[in-house]
Amino acid sequence: MGFKPNGEGERRRICQVAHFPKSVARDIGESRYIAASMPRTNTLHPLTTSQGRHIWLRAQRLDTSEPFGEGPQATAAAVEHLGYVQIDTINVIERSHHHILWTRIPNYRRADLRQAQSVDKSVFEYWTHALSYVPVKDLRFFMPAMKLHRREGHKWLSSVTPVDLRKVMRLIRRDGALTIRDIDDDVLVDKQHLWASRKPSKRALQLAFYQGLLTISERNGMLKTYELMARHFGWDTSPNQPPKPASAREVNSYLLDRALRAQGLVSLDSICHLAAPSKAAIRRLIEPRVRAGELVPVALEGAGKQEHWARPQTMESAGGAASELVHILSPFDPLIIQRKRTRLFFDYDHRFEAYVPKEKRVFGYFALPVLAGEDIVAALDLKTDRKSRKLLLQKWSWVGVGARRGARKDLKRRIEEELHRFERFQLAGDGNQPASPQLARDNQSLEGVMDNDKSILEKIADTVKDIATLASDAASHALKAEEPPLKAGEQPAVAYMPLAGDALVSDPMMMVPPIAVAPAPRRKRAVPKRAAKKASKKAAKKVAKKSASKAARKSVAKKSVAKKSAAKKTRKAAKKSAKKASKKSAKKVAKKARRGKRG
């Protein structure tokens, strides 16, 4: 903001640049004046989706081959820049957290993340929009959430008893860091939902983790080692102290700055991903920054009424040269996880179909989007056959620019080169040179691969699906008589398998709170015999009371009718008697009159 243009000619030149963002980055000499030229008003700056893509890819560091260098330091730097790296359980290929880092660090090794987490302690695990790796320097912004869980508990871990919590805390204080496998004296309990653990100690460890009492000091695959947070970070030794928890305003400022750094061009939806209640507070932070000229309102092509903002210096990069790199992305990559944003910027609808029945899948069980330059051109359903040391290509689907046949030949060559590199990453550390990937032709699926060579996760999913189907059929048969008939036009309720279309995480226990299958409408359950007998007596009494009441009403009605009938008869008899008396009186008068005439 301190740069000022000198002379009318420069001022005119800057005004022209400011109104055409695509040309801004063409002249480095102009860039330093852009911040001064941006008006401190709500004037919208138009931006094409192509320019928006360029800004986002640059912010995600997908436009250069080695933006962070290599080694554990590069891993820590990547996590710090992105703000978080999402963790997921699916391992038909390498798990998402390793995949996301490899995409930005070509020579990435899994040991680098272990070094950063367990030795250097530059990253830690906690909840962002899902369970993620987060920079330790940002830990203070998550401490208010930990404090809230200590005060109010956790709705999906409400079954944890104080006894169970004290037990795991006592074991870790006494014996040091441990995994759930180190606790073998649990009495198993019923699951609260499909993905819950039957071990009370595991639930207690999870609760202590969300409360900030424990942290995950090491992760081997998906086996977590829990340690006292204070001991892991050395806060238990003088003069070390834990960081001061951030205020609510500081947390919101952190969310805004993190999004601006990792997304470049932001909206309230992208800043508050899966945290809609924070939007009002974030907007209150954006407005003064716009007035101060620190943020620029942007009218993004195709966004309609959705507002976007960017830093003035970010707008300078809107018209740079497009990258020619090819990236095979994880479906949990920050570029893909926000589905609506990905659709707006890339005109690509990603489908996460791990929980979709095979016959209804479009891209495949675990499709990976392929970014070529600044376009998503394909979706590859891949699987690592670690036993045979091969990368299996289940299905190749062309999308977007890749759907145009004229562009496929060059694209396919470039994608296959990246597939070979991707395969080496999948099989790295085993000591042998991997074989070449088995590539399918355009949109052709390798039939039978998934059926003949299923992963453990798929077998578990199939088993769960079979059990659920049997249980559902049995319940439907038992309760069929009690089920009310459907009304005209009404559809039967269908259970919703979470995250199949939303593709937020593959394991609902990675969510806070986990999303369970939508419950079917409540039906009457069979009650115990004693309760049934009691209910039967109560119903009989109710019927008897109702019958007696009805009989009493009938009796009263009969008496009323009889009374009315008697009154009617009385009136009739009185009338008859009066008439008779009248006639008799008339006769007497007539008789007297006749006698008078004779005399």
* In 251-295, beta strands by DSSP E: none
**Pairwise CA distance, residues 168 & 166, whole Å:** 6
- Output the pLDDT for position 551: 77
What are the 10-residue block averages of pLDDT along the chain, 599 residues in total? 38 35 34 40 88 97 95 96 96 96 96 97 97 98 97 89 96 97 87 73 96 97 96 93 97 98 98 96 98 97 97 88 93 97 97 94 97 97 94 96 86 96 85 44 38 44 52 48 44 35 43 39 51 72 77 76 80 83 82 74
Verify cis geometry, omega within 30 degrees of 0, for the bond prior to 135.
Answer: no
Cβ atoms of 225 and 219 within 8 Å: the answer is yes
The 10 Å CB-count burial string (b at 16+, else e) for 486-522 is eeeeeeeeeeebbbbeebbbbbbbbbbebbbeeeeee
Residue 5, pLDDT score: 35
Instruction: Provide the terminal-to-terminal Cα distance of the chain, rounded to the nearest Å.
Output: 147
The first and second tokens of residue 316, run together, are 């300078």
Specify the 3-state DSSP secondary structure of 395.
Answer: strand
pLDDT score recorded for residue 193: 61
| Rounded CA separation 336/402 (Å) | 18
Q: Tell which residue, 141, 83, 425, has the closest CA to residue 270.
A: 83
Q: Which residues pair with 326 in a beta bridge?
A: 372
Q: What pLDDT does 330 receive?
A: 98
CA distance 500 to 503: 6
Cα separation values, 340 from 32, 53, 270, 381, Å:
34, 14, 9, 22
Q: Which of 351, 371, 347 shows the shortest CA–CA distance to 362?
A: 351
468-to-196, 291, 331, 478 alpha-carbon distances in Å: 15, 56, 27, 15
* Rounded-to-10 torsion of CA 267, 271, 275, 280: -60
Q: How far is CA 355 from CA 132, 369, 448, 503, 505, in A?
A: 22, 18, 18, 10, 11
Q: Which two tokens mark 553?
A: 């009403």
What's the confidence (pLDDT) of residue 582?
81
Write out the H or E segment, with its range, that includes residue 296.
strand 296-300
Angle made by CA atoms 156, 160, 162, in degrees to the nearest 5: 145
Q: Please state, as a whole number, how many other Cβ atoms lie within 10 Å of the Cβ of residue 579.
A: 10
The answer to whether the CB of 427 falls within 8 A of the CB of 382 is no
| Alpha-carbon gap, residue 346 to 534, rounded angstroms | 65
Handedness of CA 408, 410, 413, 416 (dihedral sign): negative
Altogether, the residues listed in the chain come to a count of 599
- Bridge partners of 16, per DSSP, are none
3-class secondary structure, 233: coil
pLDDT at position 51 is 96
Domain ranges within the chain, ordered by starting residue: 1-37, 40-153+211-330, 348-469+498-506
Buried b / exposed e over 256-268, threshold 16 CB at 10 Å, is: bebbbbbbbbbbb
Structure tokens at 449: 């691969």
Q: Extract the tokens encoding 106.
A: 């070509």
